Amino acid sequence: MSDETIVADPSRFARAAALARKGRSLFAAYIAGATRRHVAAKEPRRGNEGGNGSGTAVITRTRTQTRRPNMYRVLLLNDDYTPMEFVVLVLRRYFNKGPEEATRIMLHVHHHGVGECGVFTYEIAETKVTQVMDYARKHQHPLQCIMEKK
């Protein structure tokens, strides 16, 4: 148990007591207030409050559109020191490749100098690059993994 003192808002209790004397609860008052606001929003504007007096209004509805996230390619770079078996292990462990596909990508990296491991959103690509680089350093291999915007 801590020695902290909890102080409540006294105006809230005063409002609750006043509503209780009228036979209503805070929740009922909230619902009534929400209903009143909702009904008032549906009623047309009366009078000439800053308008041109015609009583018409233009209601614009903004529609939010979601964009697809930018995609990034995760690439392995060839070097002369990292064993081929280690590259296959990395592809299988961090990119969920099967043995045949991992071997195919590893050979592509070996022959062409670079190979694509996968295409991901920015956060996932960044995480995979970091994981691969940390794993390679932990096992003392100079394997390089980068990401580029697709």
Provide the 3-class DSSP secondary structure of residue 122: helix
How buried is 45 (Cβ within 10 angstroms: 0-12 exposed, 13-18 middle, 19+ buried)? exposed
- Global pTM exceeds 0.85: no
pLDDT one digit per residue (tens) for the chain, 150 residues: 444 444 455 555 566 666 566 665 555 555 555 444 444 444 555 555 555 556 788 888 888 889 999 999 999 999 999 999 999 999 999 999 999 999 999 999 999 999 999 999 999 999 999 999 999 999 999 999 999 999
43 vs 36: CA distance, rounded Å: 11
